[in-house]
Amino acid sequence: MIRRLLRSALLTLAFAGCSVPQWMPLIGENPVTDEPPKAAPPTSAVPVRLSFSGPKTAAPDERVTDRVLAIVNNDAITLSEIQEAIAVYRYENRDRATENSDQLVQQFLTRLIDSRLQVQEAEREKIVVEEAEIDEELADRIKKMNMQNKEEFEAALKAQGIPMAAVRKRIADELRRGRIVSRKVRLRVSVTEEEVSQYLEANRPKLETGLAYHARHVLVLPEMGAEDAAWENARIRAELLRSQLLEGVDFAELAKQHSRDASARDGGDLGPLKRGELAQDIETQILSLAPGQISSPYRSALGYHIFRLESKDTLEGEGLARVRAQIREILFREKFDTRLDAWLKEIKQRAVIDVRLDGQL
């Protein structure tokens, strides 16, 4: 039975998000270009009228899949909906899903209640979805499923016993839910430039940690012999190599000939690096340079190093613009989630929700 549910759920849920928890990615959902993706965490618990349907009995017949688990303002949520959503979740998270069935039922039921309330709120606000919009969305999703045409899709639905009307209703509900969330939440959230600047200054060290840089390197090792003399000899050789570089000798060729580091075969290229990847003293020497600048010989426990900074990201210019855009998205998401949670609690508090669980699922 679960296998049958999974087959039908994978097909049906690919065309609707209203019957799955909102933190799961929705197949075919249009990306938002100027705002972060919609996040809809479940609301915290609020009082609902619980109705327990009697003493525990033997396990129910597996063929019974339409038992009502909750009534949301006279709108039923059935066992089959929960089973479909859980089947998909377990399939997509088969290597890491650890929750037991009771936990999943509670989690998914909470999210399905939230989803159903949003659809009802959209209907109350008289949000209309035209048939042409459903056709367009359906065609787009059929294409993303790599099906040749609508006829092939309808045949797949028929093979699973899924009515086309049910799929169209789910798509319509998803579109309604997106529009009511946009009207009640997204359009009422804004982030000011002052808020972005405050976040930037408060988190500058952490933000700089993620910036990348690119450098080249020559390593001169001390030769065998008296320690002081060997190190002095290595310093002199490093100074001579630096002089050649300052006169225009190609850094990559010089590194191939004289560097004793593993990067020599790549012309001393250390490749793109994130801040924090190298030893702090080495990274400090590199990042103190301007792009194209060659360092003075720097002594480490290994030998003398000569660095040339190729490029580095900074919190200035284009780099600053990128970071500010990321901060704006972070702040928008935080405000969006907070406002969404408050709105869901508000509509839940004025709803009549009758949850019917008897432990026999």
Please give the domain boundaries of the chain with CATH numbers for all domains: 2-190+336-355 (1.10.4030.10), 212-312 (3.10.50.40)
- Residue that the structure tokens 């989630």 belong to: 337
- pLDDT tens-digit readout, 205-227: 788 777 889 999 999 999 876 68
Q: pLDDT in tens for each of the 361 residues of the chain?
A: 555 555 555 555 555 443 333 333 332 333 333 443 343 444 433 333 333 333 333 343 444 447 898 999 989 998 888 887 787 777 777 777 677 777 888 888 988 999 999 999 999 999 999 999 999 999 998 888 888 888 888 888 888 777 888 889 889 999 999 999 999 999 999 999 999 999 999 998 788 777 889 999 999 999 876 688 899 999 999 999 999 999 999 999 999 999 999 999 999 999 999 888 899 899 999 999 999 999 999 999 999 999 999 998 878 778 788 889 999 999 999 999 999 999 999 999 999 999 887 654 4
Q: What percent of the chain shows pLDDT beyond 70?
A: 80
Q: Determine the pLDDT at residue 54.
A: 35
Nearest 5°: the CA angle 98, 99, 104 is 145
Q: Determine the pLDDT at residue 89.
A: 78
Q: Determine the pLDDT at residue 14.
A: 56
Strand 304-312: give its sheet, edge to edge: 269-274, 212-220, 304-312, 298-299
Q: What is the mean pLDDT of the chain?
A: 81
State which amino acid sits at residue 82: I
- pLDDT tens-digit readout, 134-168: 999 999 988 888 888 888 888 888 887 778 888 89
Q: Which residues contact 126 (CB under 8 A, 6 or more apart)?
A: none
Q: Determine the pLDDT at residue 5.
A: 55
Q: Determine the pLDDT at residue 195.
A: 97
Q: Determine the pLDDT at residue 167.
A: 86
Q: Determine the pLDDT at residue 18.
A: 39
Q: Determine the pLDDT at residue 66.
A: 72
In DSSP terms, which residues pair with 27 in a beta bridge? none
Q: What percent of the chain shows pLDDT beyond 90?
A: 48
- pLDDT tens-digit readout, 37-73: 343 444 433 333 333 333 333 343 444 447 898 999 9
